[in-house]
Amino acid sequence: MGIDPVYERLPPTIRGDNSSNELLSRVEAVERFCRGVLDAVAPHVPCVKIQSACFERYLWHGVELYHRLVQQARALDLIVIGDAKRGDVGFSSEHYAAGCLGDQTFGGFADLEGPDAITVNSYMGIDAIEPFISLASSQGKGLFVLVRTSNPGSDAVQSLKLDDGRNVCDAVAEMVSDTGGTPGLVGASGYSLLGAVVGATKREDIVRLRRIMPKQIFLVPGYGPQGANADDMRGCFNDDGAGAIISASRSVLYASEKTPGGWLKAVAQAAADLNQQIRSILV
Amino acid sequence: MGIDPVYERLPPTIRGDNSSNELLSRVEAVERFCRGVLDAVAPHVPCVKIQSACFERYLWHGVELYHRLVQQARALDLIVIGDAKRGDVGFSSEHYAAGCLGDQTFGGFADLEGPDAITVNSYMGIDAIEPFISLASSQGKGLFVLVRTSNPGSDAVQSLKLDDGRNVCDAVAEMVSDTGGTPGLVGASGYSLLGAVVGATKREDIVRLRRIMPKQIFLVPGYGPQGANADDMRGCFNDDGAGAIISASRSVLYASEKTPGGWLKAVAQAAADLNQQIRSILV
């Protein structure tokens, strides 16, 4: 499930009173909320995707909180995906990989673990992603490359038709499949450490992209409120019933808006429901 | 000029001795270096591009330093571009815009100004960039959208040939030109708040992209060590001699590696030389 906390939608009891330092009091409220959510959903979901933007919004205080939540989620045995969508070239990519994905080795921070995987952007090509792959490979981590995103406007770039009949996202998918299929990047499971983001709303593309990228784990945002239902998700999985992580955020995070009773109970129930919905398409 | 500090290349006198907290002592060294550089180059260059990755590498401590340097650069009357290459959709883009570009309004942080502009990614289309445009428009700031990046591997995506004869980067350039040309986004100068990143190394594309995007200010990285010379840069400017920001980083930052004498003197001299080189192509 996605951890994308927006202060204005937190349960009123969590928001609390604003102290004189509005930013810090919001960070504290977001922390109370997220810590409760992680504990509540850990028994029901295998993996959380933490949206970096929601924390960077609170400057360095938010970034520190983000890292604290990564530690908590890992301690709860959740697989942690940092949804950072980073992308740069050369040594800047190395720096992003070290800061956003890596386990730290610096004295004073040697206990700080990075997430298990992060999302990265594809527009700059594979050499921009290579430093992330190097780090992921050496530390047993993974990546999800943006191939097809769930927002309507993405078509203007990702669905552009090439002169050989492919779409732009097909070409990006082939790039990810080729690089990700390199020996050493594919594990015993048959899946590559180089995965792909494929939006749940792009039904017409999912089956084709699955064919182009058989060894990629798909990270599939947009389930639920963004418009996709469980049946639409079938094409994201391989025939073995594996290969996709379906992510929902708001329908779980803010379940208490629609459900009477305590907010933590509502979140736990929504996570259990999400689990059931995804399982139902795998039988 | 670009502020992309890499600890290993800092002058030995700046690096100092590592305390028991290696990360914090590196942050302190990077801060000493960058503060000196900003003071040294401010008389010679109009604008600095601060590479977020080099600071995020040091977790929240680096992010805090990044913001301190933005304040210093603004106080020196430099135009400040945050090279953050952010990109996401919907409310996540809003959060990135507020955290990475906006002047803060939160109690306790109301004095903290964001950079004048940031770089953003184009792969997710214009709706992903709209929240950045909204904030830039309301706060008098700007954006540079990645259109054509300077790294070799970018060709595999940005130079893909479309069925109508254009390249992918041409289509992205048209998207930027169309949206950026909207009334209200173009200032009295005739330039749009929506600019474009166009790599200095892509000589064969620069002239065409300038034609597609007459109202975009080009942010042009890759001058100097990455292989482009001053003559190559001519096509980035409009006929009025305006419209482009040519950025060099390493050739100025690490000028002392090749020049005897104090490192600050070498940096100031390299910045003055850079200024002269760029001016020489505008006559």
Give tens-digit pLDDT for A31-68: 999 999 999 999 999 999 999 999 999 999 999 999 99
Minimum-distance CB partner of B162 among A23, A160, A175: A160
Cα A49 from Cα A245, distance rounded (Å): 10
Lowest mean pLDDT among A12-21, A201-210, B228-237: A12-21
Pairing of strands B47-51, B2-3: parallel
Cα A63 from Cα A26, distance rounded (Å): 13
pTM for the full predicted model: 0.97
Cβ atoms B176, B194 nearer than 8 A? yes
Minimum-distance CB partner of B123 among A4, A95, A122: A122
Query: Is A158 an interface residue toward B (CB < 8 Å)?
Result: yes
Lowest mean pLDDT among A94-98, B131-135, B250-254: B250-254
Which tokens is A151 given? 């927002």
Distances (CA, A) of A105 to A43, A57, A99, A274, B26: 31, 26, 11, 37, 13
Give the chain A residue whose CA is nearest to the CA of B68. Answer: A60
Q: Which of A3, A191, A202 is nearest to A83 (CA)?
A: A3
Is the sign of the CA dihedral B269, B68, B78, B230 positive or negative? positive
Distance from CA of B175 to the nearest CA of A (A): 8
Task: Write down the number of H helices and E strands in chain B.
Answer: 11, 8
- Judged by CB atoms closer than 8 Å, whether chains meet at B151 and A64 is answered as no
- Judged by CB atoms closer than 8 Å, whether chains meet at B92 and A53 is answered as yes
Predicted confidence at residue A230, as pLDDT, reads 78
How many whole angstroms from its chain centre is CA B12?
Answer: 27
Is the sign of the CA dihedral B154, B155, B157, B158 positive or negative? positive
Q: Which of A204, A219, A227, A247 is nearest to A151 (CA)?
A: A227
Cβ atoms B250, B224 nearer than 8 A? yes
Cα A240 from Cα A195, distance rounded (Å): 17
Cα B250 from Cα B243, distance rounded (Å): 23
Res. B258: pLDDT tops 90: no
pLDDT tens figures, B94-106: 999 999 999 999 9
Query: Is B87 an interface residue toward A (CB < 8 Å)?
Result: yes
Cα B1 from Cα B248, distance rounded (Å): 5
Chain B segment 101-120 residues within 8 A of A by beta carbon are 104, 106-109, 112
Cα angle A27, A250, A23; round to 5? 15
Amino acid (one-letter) located at A152: P
- Judged by CB atoms closer than 8 Å, whether chains meet at B162 and A157 is answered as no
* Half-sphere exposure of residue A120: CA atoms within 13 angstroms, side-chain side: 32
A208 burial type by CB count under 10 A (0-12 exposed, 13-18 middle, 19+ buried): middle
Cα A165 from Cα A252, distance rounded (Å): 40
Cβ atoms A92, A82 nearer than 8 A? no
Q: Which of A82, A84, A96 is nearest to A135 (CA)?
A: A96
Predicted confidence at residue A271, as pLDDT, reads 97
Residue B29 pLDDT grade (very low, low, confident, very high; cuts 50, 70, 90): very high
- Across residues A145-168, what is the average pLDDT? 97
Predicted confidence at residue A151, as pLDDT, reads 94
- Judged by CB atoms closer than 8 Å, whether chains meet at A123 and B149 is answered as yes
Is the sign of the CA dihedral A214, A220, A224, A227 positive or negative? negative
Cβ atoms A1, A252 nearer than 8 A? yes
What is the percentage of chain B residues whose pLDDT exceeds 70?
98
Amino acid (one-letter) located at A252: V
Cα B151 from Cα B283, distance rounded (Å): 29
The rounded mean pLDDT for chain A is 94
Task: Write down the number of H helices and E strands in chain A.
Answer: 11, 8
The residue whose two tokens read 């290579």 is: A130
The rounded mean pLDDT for chain B is 94
- Judged by CB atoms closer than 8 Å, whether chains meet at B58 and A99 is answered as yes
Residue A227 pLDDT grade (very low, low, confident, very high; cuts 50, 70, 90): low
Please report the DSSP string for B5-32 in residue order.
--GGGS-HHHH----S-HHHHHHHHHHH
